[in-house]
């Protein structure tokens, strides 16, 4: 986690505190003056209701709103810089795909160029599944900037959530859910202001869960194709969490086939032909990618990299592996101290309890924040609601599956995000009818929620000039402080110098392992700037001999500001 690295938000009033205060004030006003603004709210609801009845248009409007608003606020919320290991690894995949390759050959100087979450052998490539890299590559190929792929995928995610919700709740509520996703995920969250991923897997989950009720109602070919597409996206973005979504869906389909009314088997077989063909094509493409990158069609991303560098397993039932030999102290610090420390804590009874509570907190605060907590009071009614009973069961399976993972970050929730918002919408529907005609408290509370969300969006936009702190924890819907700027500044400095440059990075003792600077482009030898780790004198001579056509600089990230100076072997 970022807070472990010592990187904290700037001092100032916290946006989390402002959100809490604004929510409490608005909810109190709704309870004491439940009819305030009824005339204006009613007009807005009638207009949105008419839009919602045009389902296809609603889906398009949600996507357009997500993309256009995020682009419109670029002057106040600029394009983010990569900072965490995952982001640089995904950008390597983006750069590789954008140049027309599936992977890259191992570099002769790879021991100096080792990076977190990047596989060096048998080929040089991101350890992650391909979906996020492909989305970034689309942005890079079309605009030269991978981030525009992130924006596009986030807009598609919001529209997919709206489409999925239309299969489970009335269209007006589905439109509201899509716009909630715009406000909470598409403007400031690290899913859009970063390169981790999240939106892509959320699209996959929304397609699978949105296709399910439609297949059970009409069994049309297009819904089968959309479900298979969703499964393929999940398999190439977050396969474990995607499996947790697909298992209940497979059970529901099997139950439908065995117990419920459906078209004759011959008709179902004909309609399943195209989805089955798509599934085979997707599986073949995934296998070919694994073969090219990792040497075997059945060797999945993560496996080679984790076997090379990690001792701590991902799942709590697994046993730690022997500690590998590390060539760089920063990598040892990350894998031995941080990862293994977290894993051992999670394996203890007390640690498991703490981490389970922490995971629940991350899930609720990321998806709901404070402003959406009030509807959760109606969750007991949701649990008894036949309309969404399947989604409750799917959520329970998903939660159980996440408890056995040693870690949880908010993008692990992505495949179930659409379902989580539908359950929230159903809770809102129950809340809205709370009260009486004379005292419509529930309706007033529901009308207060979008008002608070709009206020918070405005406050978040001007957080920097107002001196408002944007803490990464405990909630991340409004993003975080701008990270990655020091490295980006040094990179721009080096690029501005004539010729090719080699940046030899020297860290001070205690440098946080989350703030690594040694990441390179797909085609290292053609890159204007190459980043390398300083090693012993013999290895450093080999590095300088190989890159003898470059100016060589010593980069010291722990100086304030980061220092760039000519590199000399005698300086060691």
Q: pLDDT tens, 33-49?
A: 988 888 898 999 899 99
Residue 262 confidence (pLDDT)? 79
Question: Are 368 and 455 members of one domain?
Answer: yes
- In three-state form (DSSP H/G/I as H, E/B as E, the rest C), the secondary structure along 409-466 is CHHHHHHHHHHHHHHHHHHHHHHHCCCCCCCCHHHHHHHHHHHHHHHHHHHHHCHHHH
Residue 36 confidence (pLDDT)? 87
HSE-CB for 527 with a 13 A CA cutoff: 21
Q: In the chain, how many domains are there?
A: 2
- Model confidence pLDDT, tens digit, residues 248-258: 999 999 999 99
Q: Is residue 168 part of a domain?
A: yes
C-alpha of 183 from chain center: 16
Mean pLDDT for 269-287 is: 96
Question: Are 195 and 293 members of one domain?
Answer: yes
State the pLDDT confidence band at 572, using cuts at 50, 70 and 90: very low
Secondary structure of residue 563 in the 3-state scheme: strand
Question: Are 563 and 441 members of one domain?
Answer: no
State the pLDDT confidence band at 63, using cuts at 50, 70 and 90: very high
- Model confidence pLDDT, tens digit, residues 371-430: 999 999 999 999 999 999 999 999 999 999 999 999 999 999 999 999 999 999 999 999
Range of the domain at 509: 485-571
| 7 pLDDT higher than 80 | no
Q: Which residues of 380-391 are buried (b: 16+ CB within 10 A; e: fewer)?
A: eebeebeebebb
> Residues 6 or more apart from 462 whose CB is under 8 A from it?
76, 468
Question: Are 181 and 261 members of one domain?
Answer: yes
Q: Domain boundary at 408, 434, 464, which?
A: 464
Q: Is residue 370 part of a domain?
A: yes
State the pLDDT confidence band at 466, using cuts at 50, 70 and 90: confident
Q: Are strands 118-119 and 529-533 parallel, antiparallel or unpaired?
A: unpaired
Q: Is residue 494 part of a domain?
A: yes
C-alpha of 215 from chain center: 28
| 242 pLDDT higher than 80 | yes
| 293 pLDDT higher than 60 | yes
| 2 pLDDT higher than 50 | no
The residues pairing with 553 across neighbouring beta strands, listed in sequence order, are 503, 566
Mean pLDDT for 232-260 is: 95
Question: Are 391 and 519 members of one domain?
Answer: no
Question: Are 212 and 279 members of one domain?
Answer: yes
Residue 479 confidence (pLDDT)? 74
Residue 478 confidence (pLDDT)? 73
Question: Does the pTM exceed 0.75?
Answer: yes
Q: What is the DSSP letter of 524?
A: G
Q: Is residue 310 part of a domain?
A: no
- Model confidence pLDDT, tens digit, residues 439-464: 899 999 999 999 999 999 999 998 88
- Model confidence pLDDT, tens digit, residues 473-515: 555 567 767 789 999 999 999 999 999 999 999 999 999 999 9
Question: Are 246 and 176 members of one domain?
Answer: yes
Residue 571 confidence (pLDDT)? 47
| 3 pLDDT higher than 60 | no
- Model confidence pLDDT, tens digit, residues 107-151: 999 999 999 999 999 999 999 999 999 999 999 999 999 999 999
Total count of residues recorded for the chain: 572
Mean pLDDT for 163-189 is: 96
In which residue are the tokens 């296709």 written? 211
- Model confidence pLDDT, tens digit, residues 308-354: 999 999 999 999 999 999 999 999 999 999 999 999 999 999 999 99
State the pLDDT confidence band at 106, using cuts at 50, 70 and 90: very high
Of 495, 488, 512, 486, nearest in space to 551 by CA: 495
Q: Domain boundary at 400, 430, 464, which?
A: 464
Q: Is residue 95 part of a domain?
A: no
Question: Are 407 and 504 members of one domain?
Answer: no
Residue 570 confidence (pLDDT)? 59
Question: Are 536 and 490 members of one domain?
Answer: yes
The CA distances from residue 226 to 160, 195, 418, 478, in Å, are 11, 25, 15, 31
Q: Is residue 329 part of a domain?
A: no
Answer left, alpha or beta for residue 104, where phi above 0 means left and psi between -120 and 50 means alpha. Answer: beta
Q: Which residues of 318-338 are buried (b: 16+ CB within 10 A; e: fewer)?
A: eeeeeeeeeebebbbbbbbeb
Question: Are 172 and 215 members of one domain?
Answer: yes
Residue 73 confidence (pLDDT)? 95
Question: Are 455 and 493 members of one domain?
Answer: no
Question: Are 62 and 199 members of one domain?
Answer: yes
Residue 477 confidence (pLDDT)? 64
Q: Is residue 133 part of a domain?
A: no
């Amino acid at each position: 986690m970022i807070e472990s690295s010592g990187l904290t938000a700037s001092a100032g009033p916290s946006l989390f505190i402002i959100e809490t205060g604004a929510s409490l004030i608005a909810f109190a006003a709704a309870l004491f003056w439940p009819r305030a603004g009824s005339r204006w709210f009613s007009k807005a609801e009638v207009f949105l209701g008419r839009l919602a009845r045009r389902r296809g248009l609603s889906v398009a409007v949600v996507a357009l709103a997500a993309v256009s608003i995020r682009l419109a606020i670029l002057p106040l919320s600029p394009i983010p810089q990569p900072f965490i290991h995952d982001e640089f690894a995904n950008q390597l995949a983006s750069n590789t795909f954008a140049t027309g390759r599936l992977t890259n050959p191992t570099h002769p100087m790879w021991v100096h160029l080792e990076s977190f979450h990047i596989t060096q052998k048998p080929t040089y490539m991101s350890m992650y599944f391909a979906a996020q890299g492909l989305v970034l590559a689309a942005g890079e190929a079309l605009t030269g900037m991978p981030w525009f792929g992130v924006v596009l995928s986030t807009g598609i995610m919001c529209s997919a959530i709206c489409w999925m919700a239309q299969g489970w709740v009335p269209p007006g509520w589905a439109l509201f859910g899509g716009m909630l996703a715009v406000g909470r995920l598409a403007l400031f969250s690290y899913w859009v202001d970063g390169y981790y991923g999240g939106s892509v897997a959320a699209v996959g989950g929304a397609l699978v869960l949105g296709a399910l009720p439609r297949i059970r109602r009409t069994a049309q070919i297009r819904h089968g194709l959309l479900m298979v597409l969703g499964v393929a996206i999940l398999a190439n973005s977050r396969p474990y969490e995607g499996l947790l979504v697909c298992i209940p869906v497979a059970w529901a389909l099997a139950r439908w086939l065995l117990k419920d009314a459906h078209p004759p088997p011959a008709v179902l077989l004909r309609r399943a032909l195209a989805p089955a063909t798509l599934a085979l094509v997707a599986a073949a493409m995934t296998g070919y990618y694994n073969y090219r990158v990792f040497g075997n069609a059945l060797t999945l991303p993560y496996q080679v990299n984790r076997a090379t560098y990690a001792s701590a397993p991902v799942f709590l039932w697994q046993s730690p592996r022997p500690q590998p030999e590390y060539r760089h102290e920063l990598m040892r610090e990350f894998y031995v101290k941080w990862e293994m420390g977290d894993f051992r804590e999670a394996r203890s009874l007390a640690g498991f309890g703490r981490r389970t509570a922490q995971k629940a907190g991350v899930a609720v605060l990321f998806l709901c924040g404070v402003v959406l907590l009030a509807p959760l009071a109606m969750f007991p009614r949701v649990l008894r609601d036949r309309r969404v009973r399947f989604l409750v069961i799917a959520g329970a399976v998903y939660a159980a599956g996440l408890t056995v993972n040693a870690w949880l970050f908010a993008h692990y929730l992505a495949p179930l995000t659409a379902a989580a918002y539908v359950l929230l919408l159903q809770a809102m529907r129950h809340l809205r009818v709370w009260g009486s005609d004379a005292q419509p408290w529930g309706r007033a509370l529901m009308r207060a929620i979008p008002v608070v969300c709009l206020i918070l969006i405005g406050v978040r936009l001007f957080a920097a000039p107002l001196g408002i702190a944007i803490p990464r924890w405990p909630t991340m819907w409004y993003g975080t402080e701008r990270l990655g700027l020091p490295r980006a500044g040094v990179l721009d400095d080096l690029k501005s110098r004539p010729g090719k440059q080699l940046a030899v990075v020297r860290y001070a003792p205690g440098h946080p392992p989350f703030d690594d600077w040694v990441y390179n482009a797909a085609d290292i030898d053609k890159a204007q700037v190459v980043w390398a780790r300083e090693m012993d004198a013999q290895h450093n001579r080999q590095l300088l001999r190989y890159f003898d056509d470059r100016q060589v600089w010593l980069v010291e990230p722990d100086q304030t500001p980061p220092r760039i100076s000519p590199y000399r072997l005698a300086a060691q």
